[in-house]
Amino acid sequence: MCRIFNVKIPELSNPSVCMRDPHRVQEILQSMVKAGSNTVQVISDFDMTLTRFAYNGKRCPTCHNILDNSKLISNDCKEELKKLLNTYYPIEIDSSRSIEDKLPLMVEWWTKAHEILVQQEIRKDLLAIVVRESDAMLREGYQLLFDHLYEHSIPLLIFSAGIGDILEEVIRQAGVFHPNVKVFSNYMDFDETGVLRAFKGELIHIYNKREGALLNTGHFQELRTRPNVLLLGDSLGDLTMIGFLNDKVEERKQSYLDSYDIVLVKDETLEVPNALLLYLT
Ligand code: C5P
Ligand code: MG
């Protein structure tokens, strides 16, 4: 395991931390400190990045899973959604297949799952209850992360291929949906009686976040005085700054090291991102 000793950020010596080029990471961090915290913004993925991958040995749910496992879905549809998960999730994390090869299959997964969800006539007013009853868990240290960014007026963009309505409810119930938080995600489209009829706009899946960002250039235009981005993700579609390597650790480690500056292996906490932010502010 690759480690560096850094007097200012001892957390970078945590056993979960891996870096291909620790000196470059130091240089980047030092130049970010020099530029000042008013040049920094944070962009983060949601599922399995801000939320935990597992707790007490049990997988935690994604936004989709929160709905899939809820009482709003019939048993037949639950079965179908589980089949989709068992078919497509192994493809998502298969390091032997290229992104080009996986992309159409991921679109297929999201499209089929959304079709099933729409068939269920889900009611908007029940989403908060379903989230409250779920096993969704933000990573340890989330409070510090969200509060610290808010106190220092650092914008946080949550960019998620999950479901915006669910994601917002998770952070609202955790008491951290502060005004500096903005969300790009797949939002549900409800009719006037509050029943789900479709999903709004272009589908966001794990491999088209770049295109999604280009559709929202206004947001980045506003933030052009903040060119220093701390980017957190768990998929190679989330690139590039701190990557959480949760599953298939050995097979995927090299590609994560090649792509992310800092890779956190089986680390369920936000300790390292928080330490970097404390250093930067
Ligand atoms: O927020 P993030 O971009 O990580 O959300 C995407 C995640 O949602 C994927 O990593 C995928 O495993 C998961 N997913 C799911 N059920 C679906 C589609 C995606 O759990 N139907
Ligand atoms: Mg993710």
- pLDDT score for 124: 98
Give the closest ligand to the alpha carbon of residue 62: 1
Burial 70-83 (b: 16+ CB within 10 A, else e): bebbeeebeebbee
Residues 6+ apart with CB under 8 A from 113: 64, 68, 81, 84
Q: What is the full per-residue pLDDT of the chain (281 aa) written as tens digits?
A: 444 555 589 999 999 999 999 999 999 999 899 999 999 999 999 999 999 999 999 999 999 999 999 999 999 999 999 999 999 999 999 989 998 999 999 999 999 999 999 999 999 999 999 999 999 999 999 999 999 999 999 999 999 999 999 999 999 999 999 999 999 999 999 999 999 999 999 999 998 887 777 787 888 888 888 988 899 999 887 765 577 888 889 999 999 998 899 999 999 999 999 999 999 99
Kindly give the residue spans of alpha helices, DSSP state H, lying in the chain. Answer: 22-35, 63-68, 75-92, 99-119, 127-132, 142-151, 164-173, 209-215, 217-222, 249-259, 271-280
Give the closest ligand to the alpha carbon of residue 243: 2
- CA dist 167 and 131 (Å) reads 9
- Give the three-class secondary structure for 213: helix
Q: What angle do CA 169, 172, 174 make, to 5 degrees?
A: 110
Given ligand 1 and candidates 43, 45, 46, 47, which is best to mutate, with the most ligand atoms within 8 Å of its CB? 47
Rounded to the nearest angstrom, the distance between the alpha carbon of 105 and the centre of ligand 1 is 13
Atom in ligand 1 nearest the alpha carbon of residue 204: 3
Give the closest ligand to the alpha carbon of residue 160: 1
Rounded to the nearest angstrom, the distance between the alpha carbon of 7 and the centre of ligand 1 is 37
- pLDDT score for 240: 52
Question: Residue 246 to residues 92, 116, 257: CA-CA distances in angstroms?
Answer: 13, 28, 13
Taking CA atoms only, the protein residue closest to ligand 1 atom 14 is 64
Give residue 214's region: left, alpha or beta (phi > 0; psi -120 to 50). alpha
Q: What values do phi and psi take at 147, rounded to 5? A: -65, -40
pTM, 2 dp = 0.92
- CA dist 85 and 44 (Å) reads 23
The reply to whether 135 belongs to the active site is no
- pLDDT score for 1: 40
Rounded to the nearest angstrom, the distance between the alpha carbon of 234 and the centre of ligand 2 is 5
- CA dist 167 and 118 (Å) reads 18
Q: Which one of 45, 234, 238, 261 is the catalytic residue?
A: 45
Q: Pocket residues for ligand 1 (CB within 6 Å)?
A: 45-48, 62, 64-65, 89, 92, 109-110, 113, 160-162, 206, 235
Rounded to the nearest angstrom, the distance between the alpha carbon of 142 and the centre of ligand 1 is 20
The reply to whether 45 belongs to the active site is yes
Which of 257, 234, 254, 238 shows the shortest CA–CA distance to 53? 234
